[in-house]
Structure 1
Amino acid sequence: MSACARVAAVAALSLMLGAVAAPAQSPFARTNIGQDLRASDARIEGRGGWGVAESDTLSPSFHNIAGLPGLRHVAIAVCGFAALTASETATSSRNSSRVATPSVRLGLPLAGGRAVVTAGFRALRGTQYTTETPLETLLPDPADPLGDPVIFHGTETLVREGTQFEVPLGGAYRVNDRLSFGATLNLVRGVVRERLRDDIGTPDGTDDSPYVAVSEVLTDDISGLSTTWSVQARPWRELRVGATVTPGHGWDMTRTRDMLGLPGTRTELYEVRLPATWSLGAQMPVRGRWRAGFEYESQPFSGFEGNNAWAAEMVDAWRWSAGVERVEQWRRHGGWRNLPLRLGVTHLRWPYQVGGSDVLETRIAAGTGLTFRDQSGHLDVALSYGWTGERQDNGLADRTWRLTVSLAGLERWW
């Protein structure tokens, strides 16, 4: 089986595993637009998240497709991650796990590698959380419906789940050895669903009673279209810089409300406007096999419009990443020293507030990888530890271990 065929098989299996996983997510993701789930590849994660200035024809990166020209083989890349999160509030704690739906990207070289067309699939944002709280309410006494109401005890269950997915279709072109451009059309689909259920049992002072259940389902179906423009340049010696920008765009939303026991459903159509986002980064060799890089991304979500409940909590999100990488070598008898080594740190602000305060997240990461013997692909892994929020500011805090794995295959197509 060829490298690309192996990667395709792994991609299909990973998508099935991701589809059946039903874990919980960070409690910070249970409100608003949800948590950022974008995953480029384990190499980028291992060095802290920078990669907008990356250009490597043997280990292609789709973080910025303007770095793909020069590719000589068809490239298929699959990336996914699993996370273990420990969450704490002032009165309780909770451990949760999550396996993210993996991203799949394809690069096809044309004109001797000077041009590249790409396609793919990845998750953008998501939310997955379930809470159960005690419920106490006054209802008529089953034994005396016309008398004074009695106290019923029960449980209120809230399930919030959903993911926004993106299908990027694009191309890149190399003008010369120092300059290349790229453009991508992004098809966005997804859903955010909230299910509220009240289960009410036996009233105080009675042995039994009728079972009472009240349920409500609120569903937002998402459909949108955006574009991403990218550039990469080498202005001086081995210094390489890159940038991407996604102009402001809209999502068409279809909201459906359904309540148990009431006939029919209520449907509402509206549009949300997402502000323009951009990223800028650079990389350069520092000594021997080592290189360093950084990246900054701006997401000014304070300009979000269309959903007043979400917009009231929106803030300008940002992310900066910095790290170093020791590139791989193929020295005879080099052993473990031949392997790449990556170290990095990421610091970011989420696009919305929780508890009236900004949500800040910091992650430190390390990673390595292995190139196949015939250089027809590579396997990379990254392990990171992050802390999100503060109990005194947000009312809760997270500590998360995250394992990212990516697999890429290269194959001639002519």
Structure 2
Amino acid sequence: MPIESVPKLKDYFYDLPDQFIAKHPLEFRDKSKLLHFENGKIKHEKFSNISGLIPANSHLVFNNTKVIPARLHFQKPTGAKIEIFLLNPILPATVIQLSMESTGPVTWKCMIGNLKRWKENEELSSQIVIDSVCYSLKAKLVNRENREVELSWSPDDKSFASIVEASGEVPLPPYLNRAAEDADKVRYQTVYSDKEGAVAAPTAGLHFTDQTLFDLKAKGISIEYLTLHTGAGTFQPIKHDNIIEHPMHSEQMVFTIENIVNLIAAKGNIIAVGTTSMRSLESLYWFGVNLLLGKSNEFHIEKLTPYQEYARLPNKEESLEAILQWMQANQLKQLMGSTEIFIFPGYEFKLCNGLVTNFHQPGSTLILLVAAFTHGKWREIYREALENNYRFLSYGDSSLLWNNKLD
């Protein structure tokens, strides 16, 4: 699937007045609007009715990552305030899940606010209380150039996840332009969130309630959960008109062997809930391609992997069967990997033909993904949403988009 003509970034901007950006969530998750796009036609629905728009025997795939309160605040004896934003773990493991479970010191690559006031190897401390027990949390800048911070705590009977949960602040997207509130700890989290590690919510899932999920299952729609830990890079703006020059962020993914078996068996629509689920599923396909071609058994999908020259590409079943056989041969119950996949117009979707997603920032990688999925109809969809007063971005309204829907 070579790149025939690279899209120009300037073609993927639109005017988004500030009043359309949802600064807070609605009182009830499922009362948001839902724009339904099918066969080139747009209809306006309520999100609570989404089960009525998805055929029975469809397969709905969710991202069950859980947002961690990734902003940690410290104050030096001089009064200088230092903010640490957790990005990626380094020690004792680079796997987010293992770092969050650790009860010993951990080292993370971070963004650091007021770095100029923090000397290398200088230790900062703060006090937190968990279940009436006082804990001392310490942060040491072990590598100033690479922004690497060692975090330790005592007593050490709690996991790093518990420490962060008690001491950190919810990392709201910068475009909300407000401080996190207590309510955000609940509302900037899906009701099915389970695996700690994201620093940004998979926002398409914020609309789902327990009742919505019940309605979907009652109709015979399969529910599947994978994990992609959304990184801060999801907010990184594209700065090059030649989009290929944009450095895509790498994000960690986890699939279970049951995921693979169920996806092979899925004969109806496969619908990704959110761009994170979409990127995960499409990355999974390309891992199967790499296995079949004998290229690599490392599950890491590079930015432009889909756009290389291939003599023949396998179908969905062939790719997934190759993964299943490889997992069985290696006695793996789960598959851990990472992806930098860049989906933009010209990409041919391999696993998914449905997408639930919010309305995204102008000129973003997510707009490019939506443009690819809707065969360039994104501008019409966004114009319609603006004309009908939809709420945009993370806490905004939703859309259900189809690409060759199966009845």
TM-score bucket (shorter structure): under 0.3
TM-score, with structure 1 as normaliser? 0.22
- Relative contact order, higher structure (CA 8 A, sep 6+): 2
Write 1 or 2 for the structure with the bigger share of strand: 1
Q: Which protein has the larger Cα radius of gyration, Structure 1 or Structure 2?
A: 1
TM-score, with structure 2 as normaliser? 0.22
